[in-house]
Structure 1
Amino acid sequence: MPLPLREDRVAALSGSVGLPDEVCRVLLRRGIESPEEARAFLRPHLSSVHSPYELPDMEVGVERVKRALAAGEKILVHGDYDADGMSAAALLTLGLRELGGRVEPFVPHRTRDGYDLSDAGIRKASDSGASLIVTADCGVTAVEAVATAASNGVDVVITDHHRPGSEIPNAVAVVDPMLPGSRYPFRDLAGVGVAFKLLSALFDAVGADAPRLNQHLDLVALGTVADQMPLTGENRILVRAGLRALERSRKPGLRSLLAGAGISAEGRIEAEHISFRLAPRLNSVGRMAEADSGLQLLLATDPKEAQRLADHLERQNAERRQTDARVYEDVRKQVGSRLRDEDRAVVVWGDDWHPGVIGIVASRLVERYHRPSIVISFDGDVGRGSGRSIDGFHLFDALRECEPILERFGGHRMAAGMTVRRQHVEELAARLQATARRDLSDREPIQELRLDLEVPMKRLGPDLLRWLGHLAPFGSGNPTPIVMVRGVALERAARVGNDGGHLRFHLSGDGHRVPAIAFGMGRRLQEARSSEGADVALQITENSWNGRREVQARVLDFRPSES
């Protein structure tokens, strides 16, 4: 059941902000206690964002870009091959062009060029005649590449949100809230968020109108949600505004992307539309082919070209799903034969697994085993790895403890990548296992559901759905509230889905019935059918089908009723 709250605190907050008890209970459980904090959370406004000049090196970075604009220098915008990196590169490209900049956008090829600013980016700058590189979602660990660029007479301004290594690149400016000594009040900006900050300062410095930049907040929402950054603080402000900008967006590429994902541009767009529909399509080209096609889609001005690129993304996403399924089955068999009860991490490696899907496979391992998981694919002697983590285990810090045996690594708390030689992989696995046992020793490796509310069955309806919607956008750091109902019947349970992997049934109690879907619980069909009464943890959602809308319970777990 949800942890108890003092009823006088619930009543006081409800009376101050004029919202139902259920909403106030969720706010209090998320550490939002005062009426002022509640109002700021419920009504995020762009006027509340922090000054971009609080970020490290912002003034010198803005000054260098201003000089390039004034002199008509060619600027290479260097992004990354994931959705955040593409969004950040598109944002910088469009923003600098708004100010008259001569801009060449570029994202590296995952397998041919590798991650981060590297020789490929330096060559592109040289070939295009660029005298300034502005990075997007990368660069903070590119010490050698920045030095090479400088020796070629090319300046570099870095915008990134990843943690740096032991050495900071000697760039003109390194704008990153994660730098040592940074006093920026909010450290969880996405790469696209840091890029937006640079443009905010630049637009201010040249006297350009803010609306010219804010029209591109659709890209900020896209990259921030896709990178699974916490939707709290400044991110909440930017994403809330960005989702509304996405609904109004006239960018042909985004409109084609929405249409291909089955999202109506005329309806309300939520963060989960990005997480589960848009981001996988953008990431698919970065994983399987040329990420440049994703960047060009975001920049497209011709609807026909945008549709062609969107169709390409659909094909790549289908291929990605097939490849992901093959690699996951191979990895799952390996984990099943090697994982011990006392293990607190999963580290697996193999030959010729497609490097574009190992991050997805790592995420699926986390979901299945609830342990930090790293998947490494070897091509000859060199292995590229991708990891995902759980609450309580800082993956980047764990890799930093392994720095002597890694060729390179980067990332943040919940996701990271690394390159390792075959001769060091077993030592890497042993070190990570030891670190996980140290940091997670007292935690049983099971997923915990943190309940926000307990309500009677009759409250599951459009009224509660509407009130809880005031807490959106939902995502990392601000999950969709989890509601518990007790002693309900599970009626008409049946398997659904291509492989029967899901359950569909109705929740019934107090003379009230609500349709329900339980993803991944097909194996529990008999348990559902034999239940004489269940306690159910769920999220209240809206299901749209053939123009009809109805409240639906997304069931996360159920158990025999204790009431």
Structure 2
Amino acid sequence: MQSRSNSNPSQPPQKLPSQRWRIAPAKVGLASKLALSTRLSPLLAQFLINRGIETQEEAYIYLYPESQEMPPPVEEFPDLVISVEILKEAIANGTKIAICGDYDADGMTSTALLLRALRWLGADVDYAIPSRMKDGYGINKRIVEEFASEGVGLILTVDNGISAHEAVSRAVELGITIIITDHHDLPPILPEADAILNPKQIPEPSHYRGLAGVGVAYILAVTLAQELGQLKGLTTQILELFTLGTIADLAPLTGINRRWVKRGLKLLPKSELTGVQALIQIGGVSEEQKELKPDDIGFKLGPRINAVGRLSDPQIVIELLTTTDPGIALERATQCEHINKERQERCEQIEKNAIALIEETPIDWQEARVLVIVQPDWHHGVIGIVASRLVERYGVPVFIGTYEEGNPEKIRGSARGIPEFNVFEALQSCHDLLGKYGGHKAAGGFSLPAENLSAFQISLSEFAHQCLEVEHLKPLIEIDTEANFSQLNFRLYKQIDTIHPCGIGNPDPIFWTPNVRVVDQKVVGNRHLKLTLSQDNEPNQITAIAWRWGEYFPIPSRVDIAYKLRENSWNGNIAVELELVGIRASSVAPLPPKKAEFSHNNRRYTCSLWESLNELRIKNPEGKVLAIQKGQKTGLLGVNREEAQEVDVTKPAYFQLIKAAIRALEIEGKG
């Protein structure tokens, strides 16, 4: 563990994350009025205003989403009634139903949800999930033909199928009825399925527009169970799966998602699902929590589910989420844990390789305005995560790929975007160069012949130049309001609880504080930066964590910070600390140093006190400088930073020299 009480004067100029900050305009009068009417902190009132909520009535609906009237799903989804009729008939006739899911958390929770619901309703149902390694994303002809050979009469896709023209056509040829449930962006021509449920078919203002695949599956299951009069006893278990899948898939927590997720988060700590209980136990989520938070799923439960689909057999997760046997549940949850650790190691290695490649070879991504990087032997189950990390680091759209195992002539990849760039539209613009592709605004997947790689890079760059300026190529930090450390207390933290769930589309409050002093800093764990911070005129210090920012150690002693609040529980002690999301050089100009000249042991010295660095510097006639920071027992002595030697300033010679310098500065100050 590295530790430093302040930035070491022997270090070269510090490197900080390259970011662009967008601070919402303060509306002090309106925030004060809204704070009074809602009894919220003015900080959170400003947060609501930034979300377009300016009245007490609007705030009430936001805080209590159950109070808002929502249209029934049958009024929103044109094919919902026919889908339910098809399923009712299939159940009544004993028709064999097959679910084709996807290998990500959304697809697996969707599959488990419909398996539970259809079995509850008496259906003859099974499932298949394409192999990430052999099949790639979505239903295909091979799966359709296997279903046909098994006597399947009805195929139900979840979280895929909206672009699967070939597979759907094959199902029609074989006389199999097919219902597509998906949430990905619509292609120009839709497949010839018997029914399609996709929220992208619904007009933009709809409360149902942001549903993930698991949300569409949930609506279908609930509507069908209501029609059959068998909803009682089913809702809770499938609502839990809806909540897991929605958050893990980074679906927007707005509209109907916000209402149902808020309800589901309260159910999960006392889950009715044996597998979820095991996952919570293995995932390190406190069993004492009254309700889970989106971060518990986003950073603890979701990754353990997702890792299986990335590196192993999705059947592990389906069994976990459908079993009623505690022994099997614990065994499958333990498998998820081991696979997730492997996923972390692979991600770490690929990320390091990618960064080295970008920074050590002439990849001019700023000129191209898009970063395209393809290497052999990368596991395409995890490159999507690496793409997200590269976007966080460089602030540019990232398209990352690897060659198919045993087929170097084919590339498969993942893409992640930035706010001003639409990934799905970018892929559409290159459709003539690609094999399969799909996704939405923020992310996508694609495959292409290796011989098309150069043309693909050029085409993406041309698309990027149409929507991106150079100033867009930095990670964007959206900030709600400025806060003083005196405002950061448990009362504020508990109020933030009332505005949950926060996440995509409805992000957590981000505060910022200018010109904070770094009292202590160290690198902990897996390259995380842990800080102790103070603010001038505030007596209390506060702890902060900056995930995976160890490379910026040591940071300057004065910085502006942007952050979320988090709770840290340790040995029964609970404290509010900061989770940094942004950091930049202080926007407050540092005070000039205090200077003085003095004599000591018949020699002339100059000295300066740099209050912004908390550092005293003493220079002798030969040009050597002794630099000491307050409270430290060692200092640095040398003519320059590179050659400075560490010395013990408690030794009498140095100690007396320092006392003489401090006296000289005090006399100069009084003069």
On the 8 A contact 1:90/1:105 being kept in 2, the answer is no
C-alpha separation between the residues in 1 aligned to 2:264 and 2:203? 30
On the 8 A contact 1:175/1:194 being kept in 2, the answer is yes
- Compute the displacement of 1:300 (Å): 1.5
C-alpha separation between the residues in 2 aligned to 1:169 and 1:246? 37
* Ranges in structure 1 where 5+ consecutive residues have no aligned partner: none
Please tell me the residue identity of whatever aligns with 2:577. Answer: Q
Please tell me the residue identity of whatever aligns with 1:342. Answer: E
SS of the aligned residue for 2:92 comes to helix
On the 8 A contact 2:519/2:531 being kept in 1, the answer is no
Q: Where does residue 489 of structure 1 map in the other structure? A: 517
Larger mean CA deviation between 179-188 and 147-156 belongs to 179-188
SS of the aligned residue for 1:437 comes to helix
On the 8 A contact 1:260/1:314 being kept in 2, the answer is yes
Alignment of 1:13-162 (within 5 A): 13-45=34-66, 48-53=69-74, 54-162=76-184
- Compute the displacement of 1:33 (Å): 2.1
- Compute the displacement of 1:291 (Å): 1.3
On the 8 A contact 2:521/2:529 being kept in 1, the answer is no
Q: Where does residue 309 of structure 1 map in the other structure? A: 332
Please tell me the residue identity of whatever aligns with 1:170. Answer: E
Q: Where does residue 259 of structure 1 map in the other structure? A: 281
SS of the aligned residue for 1:234 comes to helix
Alignment of 1:272-287 (within 5 A): 272-287=295-310
- Compute the displacement of 1:277 (Å): 1.5
- Compute the displacement of 1:311 (Å): 1.4
Q: Where does residue 527 of structure 1 map in the other structure? A: 555
On the 8 A contact 2:393/2:475 being kept in 1, the answer is no
The answer to whether structure 1 residue 295 and structure 2 residue 318 are counterparts is yes
Q: Are the structure 2 counterparts of residues 325 and 456 from structure 1 closer, same or farther at C-alpha, using a change threshold of 3 Å?
A: closer
C-alpha separation between the residues in 1 aligned to 2:183 and 2:318? 19
Of 338, 342, 354, 2:362 maps to 338
Q: Where does residue 586 of structure 2 map in the other structure? A: 560
Q: Are the structure 2 counterparts of residues 320 and 44 from structure 1 closer, same or farther at C-alpha, using a change threshold of 3 Å?
A: same
CA offsets 1:152-173 (integer angstroms, 9 cap, x no match): 2221111100112232111110
Alignment of 1:172-321 (within 5 A): 172-179=194-201, 184-209=206-231, 212-267=234-289, 268-321=291-344
Please tell me the residue identity of whatever aligns with 1:286. Answer: G
Alignment of 1:443-462 (within 5 A): 443-462=471-490
Q: Are the structure 2 counterparts of residues 159 and 205 from structure 1 closer, same or farther at C-alpha, using a change threshold of 3 Å?
A: same
* Ranges in structure 2 where 5+ consecutive residues have no aligned partner: 1-21, 590-671
SS of the aligned residue for 1:109 comes to coil
C-alpha separation between the residues in 2 aligned to 1:328 and 1:527? 23
Please tell me the residue identity of whatever aligns with 2:432. Answer: P
On the 8 A contact 1:392/1:440 being kept in 2, the answer is yes
- Compute the displacement of 1:338 (Å): 3.2
Larger mean CA deviation between 273-282 and 44-53 belongs to 44-53
Of 497, 504, 515, 1:476 maps to 504
CA offsets 1:286-339 (integer angstroms, 9 cap, x no match): 111111211111112111111111111122112222222232233223322233
SS of the aligned residue for 2:479 comes to coil
C-alpha separation between the residues in 1 aligned to 2:23 and 2:204? 37
On the 8 A contact 2:276/2:320 being kept in 1, the answer is yes
**Structure with bigger gyration radius:** 2
| Structure whose residues are more often helix by fraction | 1
Of 446, 449, 458, 1:418 maps to 446
C-alpha separation between the residues in 2 aligned to 1:32 and 1:210? 36
CA offsets 1:420-459 (integer angstroms, 9 cap, x no match): 0111111111111111121012534112322212122111
For normalisation by structure 1, the TM-score amounts to 0.94
Please tell me the residue identity of whatever aligns with 1:542. Answer: E
The answer to whether structure 1 residue 502 and structure 2 residue 529 are counterparts is yes
- Compute the displacement of 1:523 (Å): 3.5
Q: Are the structure 2 counterparts of residues 464 and 367 from structure 1 closer, same or farther at C-alpha, using a change threshold of 3 Å?
A: same
Q: Are the structure 2 counterparts of residues 423 and 206 from structure 1 closer, same or farther at C-alpha, using a change threshold of 3 Å?
A: same
On the 8 A contact 1:93/1:104 being kept in 2, the answer is yes
C-alpha separation between the residues in 1 aligned to 2:304 and 2:580? 26
C-alpha separation between the residues in 2 aligned to 1:455 and 1:183? 33
Please tell me the residue identity of whatever aligns with 1:462. Answer: F
Q: Where does residue 382 of structure 2 map in the other structure? A: 357
- Compute the displacement of 1:15 (Å): 3.4
SS of the aligned residue for 1:178 comes to helix
The answer to whether structure 1 residue 366 and structure 2 residue 391 are counterparts is yes
Please tell me the residue identity of whatever aligns with 1:27. Answer: L
C-alpha separation between the residues in 2 aligned to 1:117 and 1:384? 17
Please tell me the residue identity of whatever aligns with 1:403. Answer: H
C-alpha separation between the residues in 2 aligned to 1:358 and 1:524? 24
Q: Are the structure 2 counterparts of residues 144 and 482 from structure 1 closer, same or farther at C-alpha, using a change threshold of 3 Å?
A: same
C-alpha separation between the residues in 1 aligned to 2:191 and 2:175? 16
- Compute the displacement of 1:224 (Å): 0.9
Percent identity over paired residues? 35
On the 8 A contact 2:207/2:256 being kept in 1, the answer is no
C-alpha separation between the residues in 2 aligned to 1:491 and 1:133? 61
Aligned length: 559
Q: Where does residue 420 of structure 2 map in the other structure? A: 392
C-alpha separation between the residues in 2 aligned to 1:160 and 1:409? 15
SS of the aligned residue for 1:45 comes to helix
On the 8 A contact 1:136/1:191 being kept in 2, the answer is yes
On the 8 A contact 2:207/2:254 being kept in 1, the answer is no
Please tell me the residue identity of whatever aligns with 1:348. Answer: I
On the 8 A contact 1:58/1:198 being kept in 2, the answer is yes
The answer to whether structure 1 residue 165 and structure 2 residue 165 are counterparts is no
- Compute the displacement of 1:6 (Å): 3.2
Greater RCO structure (CA 8 Å; 6+ sep): 2
Please tell me the residue identity of whatever aligns with 2:362. Answer: R
Q: Are the structure 2 counterparts of residues 218 and 42 from structure 1 closer, same or farther at C-alpha, using a change threshold of 3 Å?
A: same
Of 436, 450, 466, 1:438 maps to 466
CA offsets 1:49-82 (integer angstroms, 9 cap, x no match): 4421111311111110111112222211211000
Backbone CA RMSD of aligned residues: 2.1
Q: Are the structure 2 counterparts of residues 6 and 552 from structure 1 closer, same or farther at C-alpha, using a change threshold of 3 Å?
A: closer
C-alpha separation between the residues in 1 aligned to 2:111 and 2:186? 20
On the 8 A contact 1:284/1:317 being kept in 2, the answer is yes
On the 8 A contact 1:460/1:514 being kept in 2, the answer is no
